[in-house]
Structures are given as C-alpha cells and as structure tokens.
Chains A and B, each alone.
Chain A
Amino acid sequence: MLTSKVKKTKMFKKIGIKLIWVVGITAVIIIAIFSFYNIRSHSNALLAEVERHANQLSETVKHSTRYDMLLNQRDRVHTIINTIGQQPGIQDVRVLNKVGEIIYSSHEQDIGKMVDKKAESCYACHTANEPLERLQIKERTRIFRPNPDSARVMGIITPIYNEHSCWEADCHAHEKNQTVLGVLDVTISLSDVDAQIKQGELDTVIFAFSAVIVFSLLLWFVIKKWVDNPVKELLNATHEVGTGNLNYTIQEKSDDEFGLLAKSFNNMTQKLSEARIQLFQSDKMASLGRLAAGVAHEINNPLTGVLTYSSFLLKKTQDNSDLNEDLKVIVRETKRSREIVKSLLDFARQSVPKKNLVNINEVIEKGITVIENQLSINHVQLKKDFAKDLPQSTLDSNQMQQVFINLLVNASDAVGPKGGSINISTDLIKLSPYGITHIKKATCPKRHDLMNNEVKIDGMPSIKLKVYSNGTSAFIYLDPVYGRNHHKIDIDLNSKNLKVVCPQCEISLINPDKKCPECNSSVYSLEVPSQGNIEGCISKTCDWQKWDAVDADGQKDYLEIKISDTGCGIPRENLSKIFEPFYSTKGQKGTGLGLSVIWGIIDNHNGTIKVDSELNKGTTFTIHLPAGKS
C-alpha cells in the first residue's frame, strides 16, 4: 500500500515535470525567436540611423566645401575637412579625384596617395569595367573593418558631379565632358553603435533568461498549488478510504475540477459509509432476529411447564384461597413473561402494539415496582409527582411498562453508584397539532404512496416528491412532522418553471389556484388517506403548511410524562443520535437497542419523545402520548 503510494507520487511528479518541460521549452523557443528578431531590428535601426547621419554629414561636407572648391581655395577646404574629421566618431573624411588620388583628407599623411580601384571606397562604382556614375544611397555605403582587429567602420561615398561653374572657372581644372569629378569619402566609426548593439543583445538575453526562469517558477508554483496538492490530497484520501476510514473527507477548497472531484469523492465516501452502516445494521438486525427466535424457542418450553402446571394447580385449588392467590401471581407473572418474549419476537418483526384502556400512572407504578430494588441499591431517590384524575388512555401497557423500566434503568445508570435523584411526573396538557402530528401516510391524487423509508428525517420516513426545475429533475424529501416542512434537497426551488410531481406517475402535485399566504410561492397538495389533504409551501425558506382535517380537531389532550435525573448528562453532539438503533454508550453492557425500541413504541402510539440534557447536571426525557380513547 505504502510503496504504491510512493510510486504514484513519483509518477505524478513526473507528470508535473513533464508539464513544466513542455510549457517551459515552448516558452524558451518563443522568447528566443522574439529576442532574435528584436536584436536584429534593433541593430538595423541603429545602423540605418548611422547611415542617415553619415549621408547627412557627407552632404554637409560637400555643400560647405562647394564654394571653396569652385574658387579652388584648397586651404579652406582642408580646414573644413580637418575640422569635421576631428569630430568624435568620424574616422576619416577624404576627397578623391577621378584617378583615385587623395586630394583632401582629415589625415594629412594620406594626401597624395593613390587609392586602388578595388579598394573599399571605389568598389561600389568600379565593379563594372565602366564606372557607374549614379548610385543609390544603399550602394554608396559599406561597412568594413580597416584591420581585422579594429572596430567596424561605415564608409559613405558621395560622388562630386561636374557643374556648369566647374568647367567655366578660371582654373580650368575640369573638362566640360566629365560627369564625375571626384568622390567624397566619409568613414564613421561604428564602435559606439556596436557597443550599443552588444548591450541590447545582452539586455535581451538577460530578459529572456529571467522571463523563462520566472515563468517556470510561476508554472511550478501554480501546478504545485492547483494540481500537485489536490492530487496528493486525493491520493491520501483514497488511501485512507482504502484502509477503511470512510469518515475521511477532503476539504473542498476550490471551484475547479479538482474541487468538483473532491466534492464527488466526499459524496461517494459518505454514500459508501451510509451503505456500510445500513448493511451493518441489517446484518445486526438479522442476527438479533435469529437470537430472539432462539431465545423465544428455548425459553418458551420451560415457560410452558411453569404456565401449564401453575394454571392446572390454580384450577384444582379454587377452594383453597391462600394457595389460590399465590398461584394467581405465578400465572399472572408467567403470562407477563410470555408477553415479553413475544414482544422480543415482535421487535424483530416490528409488530403493532396491543392497546387497551389503562391509566398511565398505574403503568408507571408497575414499572417502578420491578426496578425499585435496583434503585435503592444505587442510592437513587425516586420522586413521584403524578397528576390525579388522568383519563384512561389507549395504550399497550406491556410495551409502555417496558418504556418506563428502560428509561428508569438508564436514569439510574446515569446517576451512578454515588447516588442522586430521579423525578418522574405525569400531567395532562393540551397541544396544538402543528409541529407535533406525524404524517404517517401521504399519497398523490392517484393514490401512489409517497412515503420513503430510505431517507429518514429524525428517524421517520420522509415524503418523497419529484421536482423539475429549469429542465433538471431532482427529488425532495419533506419532513413528515406537520408544521416543519423542511426540504432535503439541493436544487433551486425559486425558479419560475418549477414542477412538483409524484415520483411514480408524474401527476402534478402543485395546486394552481393557491399561493403560499406567507411568501406567495407555489403550494403543493398531498392526500393523507382518510384525513383530507395537506398543503405546504414549496419555498425552501418557508415553513408554511396547512392540514385542515387535523387543524379542525383543534388542540388535543396529551399525557406528558417527564423523567429527569441528576446524572452525568449526554454530550450535545450525541443527543441527536441516542434514538438511533445500536447507538450505545454502555459498551458491553447494552445492546444499543433500548432507546430505539422506546422510540418505536412511542411512535406506534402516535406519541413523541424528546430529550434535553446538560452535561454533569442531568437528563430529562419528555414523552407526549395522546390522552383518552383513540
């Protein structure tokens, strides 16, 4: 298990790195191409600028020396050329005549030297055998290195054309038929430009590298946060669930696919856990059934011996009143044992109570006599506060006795060996049906049963309805207690196209003529067999419900029985669970069935039981049972 986990983590890491590789390399290529073109256009722009500058300079030299040339004032031409040639960045300013002799130069030692036609400055025009006379600016510039180890230079040649005033001047230096008289050659050092280009290149490369690094880091961080961690969490969760911890939940941090995955994972484990509990419980129930059957069979045979012999004796000793009375006790108590064994079997089969008219106070008294000894051993003081003149009520006295014995034993256990007190009181009260009456059966107009045993609310089967909202369908489960109306649902119920239908026949359950008097939402209407219709608001936030048949009865008399102890109390988080089957805090001592059986018995009598408890102060069970004949 552990090795596979490590392997999986490693494998995942590879996936993460793969992602970083792919995205990183793509980024590097894009940035490299971008940088390459950026550097090239940058240096081109710089060179063009230098070229424009050189051309301008040449034109300036040509124009500023023109007049002096016309007047053949060579000294002045020299001075101008020298002055310009000494400007920083300007390497050389030369004027060549037609045959290639340097006649002016900013470097005086060059004056008088001949330049080969194959030299840099002549090459452009003299490539062809006949020299060209007109050249474009592009063809007039060239970039070269005078020596292999020196900085690059840019040269620009500007032809000096023959003009009218040249051949008419007094010096007669030029013939009329000449086109080009000479060439002005300006060379400019590119060392600054080259340095700038180099700097640009360096900047771009640094930028590219930092971009790639930052990008990769960001990518790594994002993958770690949004992919790596959630996947690790999920792996961890699957591992936990795999080893049997079905209560493990993943924090649903994000709304992305991983968040959804986590949500669906939690949902899955919850369903699994519920299914497991149900399976476990039905298994327990089945073995309990077998146990009950075995016990019933085994105990009923000896009981038959006791009951037959004692009742036989009872018949025979009708004239002996002393013996007769004692035998009556044996017969009565054996019959009671018979009922207890039967209810054990019935519990496994959830049978209906056998009700007759009894006074609840007498039932409680009978229960108390059974456990009086146990209470006094535990130093428990029992205070009774029974209301007089309680009406006779329709109850199964055996089952009710079981309820009180169970609750008193629980109370006594809670008080513990140190002692304390238990209060038991009865009273007759009036309760309105709203918030109390349990809807045990509800149908659609076509009489399909809407009760659902799979989803229980507070232990009672819910009412299942189907809802269509904006094209999606879902089920809602209503609380079966009249007046609570809470929905178990996760669909938007406020939509306008809401339809509520019977899950079996899809007949609409919405009453189109009615709106909720509290929030004006739609109203559903369900049939309760032989008890009219119950209506309720479909809004999730509204509790409005109306059940005319039950309301018409008005307030009803209820027996209220309170059993409170000064014991250890029940922690708040356990209060909701205590009526669930097999919930027990008594460990080996209890079966965990006691309170769930009590709940079932009270429910079978159409009553309610609730619990209030404060830790270390005590617990109070309050039972409400319909009073009088039912």
Chain B
Amino acid sequence: MKKDWDILVVDDEQVVIDAVVKICSSEGYTVDTAIDAKEALQKFGHNNYTLVICDIMMPEIDGFGFLDELHNRKISSAVIMTTGFSTVENAVKSLYTGAIDFIPKPFTTDELINSVLRGMKYIRIQNSVKSYKREDSEIPYVPCPAKYYRLGYSSWVAEDNTGSVLIGATDLFIKTIENLTGVELFQIDEEVVQGNACAFIIDKEERKHPLLSPVSGRIIEVNNDIIKNKNLIEKDPYFEGWFYRLIPSDSEYELRNLINCSSDRM
C-alpha cells in the first residue's frame, strides 16, 4: 500500500529543503524530501504525492527531465518549479512543459505558501474535472476560448485586430484563488515581461497572488472596470474581465512558448 504525502521537495540544496519542510509543515502539510531527481523518482515507487516542489538546476536529471519522466510514468502530481537561475526563459519553459507554477529563488514564506495553496486547489479542481459529467449543473471551470493562447494555466493572451493584444487571467487560475477581494494593477506605459508578474490578485486573507504575464510589451490600456467591479474577473474572465491591452514587443517569438487554447476541451 502506497503512502500518501501532500508534498515532495526535490532540491540539491539542503537549506532550501529544510526551509520548505519547515514552512509547509507549519501549514499542516505532510512533506517528504529528495536530494535529486533520481531519488525523487524512486520515491514515487513507494508513495503518492499531491504536489512536487522541484528545483530546475540539479545534477544528472534536471527539473525539466524530471517533469518529462513524471509525464512518461503518467504520474499526475502537480509540479511547482523553482530555481536560483530565475530567468524569463526558465519560467516560461517550466509552464510550457507542464509545471503549474514557477517560483523564482529566493522566495519568502508567503510566496511559497500562496503557491502551494493554489497548487492544492488546482489538484482539487482537476480531480473534480475527472468526476465531472455533462449532466452536472456547474462545470469546474471554463476553459480558454479557441484562438486564445495561455501561459501554463494562469494567464491568457488574445490578438486584437488593431495589432495590440489583450491579456487576462484564466478561469482556472482565478478559481485556484479563494475569494478574490482585490487586484493590484500596473499603470499605462509600464513594461511587462513574459513570465514575470504583471498583476497581483488579493484574496480574502490578504495573500498576494502574482499573475505571470503571457507576453512582453508596453501597457497601453488598463481595464478599469475590473477595479470597480472585481466580480467581472470571476464572471467573465475571457472577455469583460481582461486586464491590459499591450503593444507586444516580440509576440511571434513569445507565442512559441504559449499553449494554443484551441485544443482545450472539457
């Protein structure tokens, strides 16, 4: 009989492992550890893990190789990637290859806890999708419309006919945040970078959840409606609930790292 754990931490730095164990345990999660990807994969033979917090830069098998191996073994644990080499490329690649989140090192206690909470909620939603039947009254979440592109599961981008693009948060991402109470937005003319935070969504416990921008560019319009009416983000995340209108700086290159929503079906 396999043992069920909440979290597995994979990192070649003992201090990081200790810190994550300490923080997550204090939140009431059961945490197991592995010093490299090989050991982590072995542990999957004996145990089940809901969430994996995995470093990218590791000896032998790196974080991406580990992610691939999990995929090959059809292990459905959610993976949060983290690295000290926190570049845009690493963040975007993590989300493209199937990680649900990316936390750049060094991170604070809150940043880690928020990400873990979202990850746990994500797993619950995915589990409810498995048991979802068409007759059910409420669908778990609304998938991204066709012709949209998304960064991981968190943010979407849609091309506008004027050459600018609209960006916003996906319904799944909003649903992983419990009880949205506010949103912190950037201002017009500010630059956003793909894979970096472009807005913060605040929940009822004052936790700040970063929304990673799907593309880089300059903000030319901010949707003030969502500040006035926060429900708009939850009710119509793909149309009325957009965040910014951007002039993208290199959309062609960046689109390659995004997932085409046309294949997203319940």
Cβ-defined contact, B106 with A312, below 8 A: no
Q: Which of B153-161, B189-197, B228-236, B237-245 contacts A (4 or more CB under 8 A)?
A: B189-197
Cβ-defined contact, A300 with B108, below 8 A: no
Cβ-defined contact, A301 with B23, below 8 A: no
Known: A308-B19, A308-B20, A315-B109. A301 touches B85 (CB 8 A): no
Known: A309-B19, A312-B19, A312-B23. A304 touches B13 (CB 8 A): yes
Cβ-defined contact, A296 with B109, below 8 A: no
Interface residues of B in 35-67 (CB under 8 A from A): 57
The docked-state distance in angstroms from the alpha carbon of A306 to that of B83 is 15
Shortest B244–chain A CB gap in Å is 15
Q: Residue on B with the closest CB to A294? A: B85
Cβ-defined contact, A307 with B106, below 8 A: yes
Interface residues of A in 296-345 (CB under 8 A from B): 296-309, 311-312, 314-315, 331, 334-335, 338, 342, 345
Known: A297-B57, A302-B15, A352-B191. A308 touches B106 (CB 8 A): yes
Interface residues of A in 265-316 (CB under 8 A from B): 293, 296-309, 311-312, 314-315
Q: Residue on B with the closest CB to A303? A: B106
Q: Does A496 contact B (CB under 8 A)?
A: no
Q: Among B18, B105, B106, which residue has the most Cβ atoms of chain A within 10 A?
A: B106
Shortest A601–chain B CB gap in Å is 14
Shortest A291–chain B CB gap in Å is 13
Q: Does A191 contact B (CB under 8 A)?
A: no
Q: Does A355 contact B (CB under 8 A)?
A: yes
Q: Does B68 contact A (CB under 8 A)?
A: no
Cβ-defined contact, A297 with B23, below 8 A: no
Size of the A side of the interface (Cβ < 8 Å), in residues, is 31
Cβ-defined contact, A305 with B16, below 8 A: yes
Shortest B169–chain A CB gap in Å is 21
Interface residues of A in 56-71 (CB under 8 A from B): none
Interface residues of B in 1-37 (CB under 8 A from A): 13, 15-16, 18-20, 22-23, 26
Contact of A312 among B16, B86, B109 (CB under 8 A): B109
Shortest B220–chain A CB gap in Å is 9
Cβ-defined contact, B189 with A306, below 8 A: no
Known: A297-B57, A352-B193. A308 touches B112 (CB 8 A): yes
Q: Does B110 contact A (CB under 8 A)?
A: yes
Contact of A308 among B108, B191, B193 (CB under 8 A): B108
Cβ-defined contact, B87 with A355, below 8 A: no
Shortest A138–chain B CB gap in Å is 106
Shortest A391–chain B CB gap in Å is 16
Shortest B181–chain A CB gap in Å is 20
The docked-state distance in angstroms from the alpha carbon of A312 to that of B109 is 6
The docked-state distance in angstroms from the alpha carbon of A315 to that of B23 is 11
Cβ-defined contact, B86 with A345, below 8 A: yes
Q: Among B19, B23, B110, B193, which residue has the most Cβ atoms of chain A within 10 A?
A: B19
Cβ-defined contact, B86 with A304, below 8 A: no
Q: Does B107 contact A (CB under 8 A)?
A: yes
By a CB distance below 8 angstroms, the chain A residues around B107 are 304, 307-308
A301-B106, A311-B108, A342-B86 given. 17 additional CB < 8 A pairs? A297-B57, A297-B84, A298-B84, A300-B86, A301-B15, A301-B105, A303-B106, A304-B106, A304-B107, A308-B23, A312-B23, A338-B106, A349-B87, A349-B88, A351-B88, A351-B193, A355-B190
Q: Which 10 A-B pairs have the closest CB atoms?
A: A300-B84, A308-B19, A305-B15, A303-B106, A304-B106, A352-B191, A311-B108, A311-B109, A307-B106, A297-B84
25 sample A-B contacts, Cβ–Cβ < 8 Å, listed by A number:
A293-B87, A296-B84, A296-B85, A297-B57, A299-B84, A300-B83, A300-B84, A300-B105, A301-B105, A302-B15, A304-B16, A304-B19, A304-B105, A305-B13, A308-B19, A308-B20, A308-B106, A311-B109, A331-B108, A334-B106, A335-B108, A342-B86, A349-B87, A355-B190, A630-B189
